[in-house]
Amino acid sequence: MKIHFREQYGTKGEEILYVTPADQSNIVRVPLRGDKLVIQEKFLLFRLLQKIFLPKGYPDSVSEDYAAYQVWDTAQAFCSTICGTLCTHAILKGIGVGSENINAYSATVTWILKEGSGHVGRIFFAWWQGSQLDVDSKKWRLRADFLNDLAMGIEIYVLPKYPHLSTQILCGSTLLKAIVGVAGGATRAALTQHHALRGNLADVASKDSSQETCVNLVASFVGLYLLSLIKSQTVLYTIFYVVVSLHLYANLKAVRAVCLRTFNESRYLIALEEFFRSSRMLSPQQVNAMERVTIGQTVSVSLNVKLGLSVKNLIDEYKSSSVIDNIVSSFDPHEHFIIAETKKCLGVYLHFDTRPQDVLKAYFFAVSYLQDRNQIKEKYWDIQTKWQEFLTLAQQEGWMIHHHLLLVDEFRLDWKV
């Protein structure tokens, strides 16, 4: 028997040999049947659902944390839809549906004002915090769902008690939900980009939408069933409290499951602290496990580091040209950044030719400076050697060192003229 080809669909698909038997001249297709394959063939529904709801090439086409994240994300979506169903019932009662004293026009005005406040909120929040959503996508993903639960809590607990203030209450809760819409949608896009290993962003996003739509459909009917069981406000409050608690827990687990390989300030400081302490590089899994996803940072610096500042800040602080020249001369002429301390912050001034890796290097030098104010000038080349060592170890551990999620302003300058 002669074996011509061995074929497999993905890394976990069916293996097939194409062979020519000893007594034949034609090539024959021979499946290699393992136990897992037999189980999958018996459950055709499982294979069909996998094609409908999972990206093509799964699990090879997505990141390793995709499955864990989607399980918890599905659970939180289920809980959120049930809460939404309960809130819809409360809102409709709040604007007077079923009451003889409320006409259609007044209810319509309330609804339009509610939606209008939401539109204004979306525009304002996108302007105010838009750049932060990439930098701290995990934190804002969690914050968005917390605000969503807060808005629904207001509609469930407060609205029935103050029906004469229904318009103001609904405008306030819709404003919170508008922030949720912007923050949740933007951070979901950032996480989807992380999961799409093969540039299959559209496929991963569409399958995620399909999963959520299916879950929302099922949860809506569960929510309707729960509404039929509610005979008092006490029962409503109890159900809402339990579902919201499960929703927040599932969200926390979903965000914790994500393992981002790009440095933002929080992850970078965790990695730098360990490197400066032991010359050891933490893996993305270790750093993500240590990263705070609620409030604050695991590691902080003694002075705020601001990247991409205007040189006006430097001139206003020191004024003297000789002092400025001395600061510039402290750095290698080939570097694309200058670091200088002011009263309010440690400023990093970037050159026109700065690349993402230069920004990471500048932040590395800035943190080194904060450890010892004399290092920049007296131990410049020692820091340079440490940076090269850090860069090599980061690549070996799987960090993406050609991109970053540090917050950088847009000022650039040239001091080599």
- Per-residue pLDDT, averaged over 384-404, amounts to 94
Residue 74 lies in a domain: yes
Q: Are the beta carbons of 88 and 269 closer than 8 angstroms?
A: no
- Does 199 lie in the same domain as 231? yes
Q: What is the CATH number of the domain that holds 233?
A: 1.20.1250.20
Taking each helix axis from N to C end, the angle separating 201-229 and 44-53, rounded to the nearest 10 degrees, works out to 110
Half-sphere exposure of 225 (CA within 13 A, CB side): 6
Residue 214 placed within a domain: yes
Q: Are 283 and 388 in a shared domain?
A: yes
pLDDT at 413 over 50: yes
Does 111 share its domain with 223? yes
Query: Distance (Å, rounded) from C-alpha 16 to C-alpha 193?
Result: 33
Amino acid (one-letter) located at 10: G
Tokens 């976990």 sit on residue: 12
Distance, in Å, from the CA atom of 201 to the CA atom of 189, rounded to the nearest integer, reads 9
Same domain, 245 and 378: no
Q: Strands 337-341 and 305-307, how do they pair?
A: unpaired
Query: Would you place residue 24 in the very low, low, confident or very high pLDDT band (cuts 50, 70, 90)?
Result: confident
Would you say residue 40 has pLDDT above 60? Answer: no
What percent of the chain is predicted at pLDDT more than 70?
A: 94
**Whole-number pLDDT of residue 347:** 94
Asked if the structure places residue 409 within a domain, the reply is no
For residues 370-379, give the mean pLDDT. Answer: 73
Q: Identify the band that residue 389 occupies on the pLDDT scale cut at 50, 70 and 90.
A: very high
Q: Which of 412, 388, 64 is nearest to 258 (CA)?
A: 64
Confidence of residue 375 (pLDDT cuts 50, 70, 90): low
Pairing of strands 305-307, 346-350: parallel
Residue 46 lies in a domain: no
- Whether the CB-CB separation of 275 and 390 falls below 8 Å is answered with yes
Whether 154 and 293 share a structural domain: no
In a shared domain, residues 318 and 187: no
pLDDT at 101: 62
The answer on 236 and 343 residing in a single domain is: no
pLDDT recorded at residue 71: 95
Note the residue count of the chain.
417
Mean pLDDT of 388-406: 95
In the prediction, which pLDDT does 110 show?
79
Q: What is the pLDDT of residues 295-314, one digit of tens each?
A: 888 898 889 999 999 999 99
Q: How far is C-alpha 199 from the geometric centre of its chain's CA atoms?
A: 17
The answer on 247 and 140 residing in a single domain is yes
106, part of any domain: yes
Q: What is the rounded average pLDDT of the residues 129-142?
A: 89
Domain holding 7, by residue range, is: 1-35
| The pLDDT value given to residue 15 | 80
Report if residue 54 sits inside a domain.
no
Check pLDDT > 50 for residue 21.
Answer: yes
Average pLDDT over every residue of 259-269: 95
Domain-embedded: residue 410: no
Taking the C-alpha atoms of residue 91 and residue 98, their distance in angstroms, rounded to an integer, is: 12
Calculate mean pLDDT across residues 391-399.
Answer: 95
The amino acid at 365: F
Both 165 and 291 in one domain: the answer is no
Of 247, 283, 265, 301, whose CA–CA distance to 137 is shortest? Answer: 265
pLDDT (tens digit, 9 = 90+) per residue, 215-260?
Answer: 999 999 999 999 998 888 899 999 999 999 999 999 999 999 999 9
Query: How sure is the predictor about 371, in pLDDT bands with cuts at 50, 70 and 90?
Result: confident
Look at phi and psi of residue 94 and say left if phi exceeds 0, alpha if psi is from -120 to 50, else beta. alpha
Are 19 and 88 within one domain? no
Structure letter (DSSP) for residue 15: E
Mean pLDDT of 105-114: 80
Same domain, 123 and 195: yes
Number of domains in the chain: 3
Two tokens, residue 221: 């009917």
pLDDT at 2: 81
Q: Is residue 231 domain-resident?
A: yes
The one-letter code for the residue type at 367 is: V
d(CA 293, CA 258): 11
d(CA 300, CA 265): 9
Whole-angstrom Cα distance, residue 110 to residue 102?
11
- Look at residue 149 and tell me whether its pLDDT is greater than 70: yes
CA distances from 370 to 64, 123, 194, 321, 340 (A): 36, 38, 32, 24, 11
Task: Tell me what pLDDT residue 207 has.
Answer: 94
Q: Is the pLDDT of residue 39 over 50?
A: no
Tokens of 349: 């001034």
What is the overall mean pLDDT for the chain? Answer: 88
pTM over 0.75, yes/no: yes
Indicate if 252 and 314 belong to the same structural domain.
Answer: no
Q: Nearest CA to 90 among 164, 148, 158?
A: 158
Q: Where are the beta strands (DSSP E) in 147-187?
A: none
**pLDDT exceeds 90 at position 278:** yes
Segment 338-353, tens digit of pLDDT: 999 988 899 999 999 9
Domain boundary among 257, 288, 318: 257
- Is the pLDDT assigned to residue 126 strictly greater than 80? yes
